[in-house]
Amino acid sequence: MSEESEPALKLEGVVKRYGDFQAVRGVDLEVPSGEIFGFLGPNGAGKTTTIRMVAGVLQPSGGRIRISGHDLASEPALAKSRVGYIPDRPFLYEKLSGGEFLRFVAGLWGKEADQVQDRVDRFLHLFHLTEWKDELIESYSHGMRQKLLITSALIHDPTLIVIDEPMVGLDPRSARILKDLLRRYVDEGGTVFLSTHTLEVAEAVCDRIAIIHEGRIIALGTMDELRAEADAGGAHLEDIFLKVTGGDEMAEVVASLRNAVGPSEVGSAGVG
Ligand code: ATP
């Protein structure tokens, strides 16, 4: 079967155990090309663990992950070459300049700097990083690091972008640019798999959403489908999140999430 006829991402019975503890408890998921798919859940739900397994940096304890039909376990090089991964706690070489870092990443993908220069310049310009490209990364703010990282993840022209908490640390302008960039990317046939604990981000950015709780998907669909499932016509996703997950415990989680909205997340609330 050709890559095009395969889903961009497919998870079958994916499990992750840390010792006796099951962080991810049998996740099944199919994301077609051209979709922004969001993984939404409270802290500790299993989002980062799942994202890291899809990115190929953490091995599942069970189940199977396919990227455009390529099995991550049996065809790792092919599968990973299709993925651009943007982690939530990235590692950047502080003593390199932004430009040097991007050339380094291009080299890891076997590309010469001049092969990717146009692409890199376009993103640096878009993110207002051009004048910073020769400065050392150690002088970059959190938001600038995030933008550099996004650029580095797009260098090899991946078909699937995997992002853990994409909007955290970005100012409203950069959050808007990233949202537009992701939309343009999927309009051109790319696919995005992202995690967020921020309801506004899921609602504003994603075509479909899976709500994950204690390692299991407990609801999945478009906003309208989730609304129908929660029997809450016209409700805001936050209400749906509460209704679908239910229980006082989840109400406390949502309330504390609301209280925990800091300056970095205020920007994401404006992504609409
Ligand atoms: P957050 O929003 O806080 O990042 P999350 O949904 O991304 O949460 P994960 O980081 O995937 O959640 O963690 C899921 C569960 O697995 C949590 O209970 C966490 O404590 C546990 N966990 C994660 N990594 C490890 C590890 N290396 N060893 C043991 N337990 C772990």
Pocket flag, ligand 1, residue 226 (CB < 6 Å): no
> Are 11 and 180 contacting, i.e. CB atoms less than 8 angstroms apart?
no
Q: Which atom of ligand 1 is nearest to the CA of 45?
A: 6
Is the CB–ligand 1 distance for residue 45 below 6 Å?
Answer: yes
Residue with tokens 């504390």: 256
Measured from the Cα of 195, ligand 1's closest atom is 7
Cα separation of 52 and 18, whole Å?
14
Ligand 1: does its nearest atom lie under 6 Å from the Cβ of 87?
no
Q: Is the CB of 46 under 6 A from ligand 1?
A: yes
Give the distance (Å) from ligand 1 centre to CA of residue 199. Answer: 19
Report all structural domains of the chain as residue ranges with CATH numbers, in order of start.
Answer: 3-82+158-265 (3.40.50.300)
How far apart are the CA of 119 and the centre of ligand 1, in A?
35
Ligand 1 centroid from CA 99, angstroms: 33
Mutate to test the pocket of ligand 1, among 25, 43, 196 (most ligand atoms within 8 A of CB): 43
The pLDDT assigned to 101 comes to 92
Secondary structure in 3-state letters for the chain:
CCHHHCCCEEEEEEEEEECCEEEEEEEEEEECCCCEEEEECCCCCCHHHHHHHHHCCCCCCEEEEEECCEECCCCHHHHHHCEEEECCCCCCCCCCEHHHHHHHHHHHCCCCHHHHHHHHHHHHHHCCCHHHCCCEHHHCCHHHHHHHHHHHHHCCCCCEEEEECCCCCCCHHHHHHHHHHHHHHHHCCCEEEEEECCHHHHHHHCCEEEEEECCEEEEEECHHHHHHHCCCCCCCHHHHHHHHHCHHHHHHHHHHHHHCCCHHHHHHHCCC
Expressed in angstroms and rounded, the spacing between residue 47 Cα and the centre of ligand 1 is: 8
Residues in the chain: 272
CA of 197 to the centre of ligand 1 (A): 13
| CA distance linking residue 205 with residue 192, whole number of Å | 10
- Is any atom of ligand 1 closer than 6 Å to the C-beta of 47? yes
Q: Is 36 in the pocket of ligand 1 (CB under 6 A)?
A: no
As a whole number of angstroms, the distance between CA 42 and CA 250 comes to: 9
Residues near 44 by beta carbon (within 8 Å), at least 6 away in sequence: none
- Retrieve residue 221's tokens: 């669909």
Render each residue's pLDDT in the chain as its tens digit; 272 residues.
577 789 999 999 999 999 999 999 999 999 999 999 999 887 788 999 999 999 999 999 999 999 999 999 999 999 999 999 998 877 899 999 999 999 899 888 888 878 888 888 888 888 888 999 999 999 998 888 888 988 899 888 899 999 998 888 778 888 888 888 889 889 988 999 999 887 778 888 999 999 888 899 988 998 778 777 766 555 556 666 666 555 555 555 555 555 554 444 433 433 33
Q: pTM of this prediction?
A: 0.83
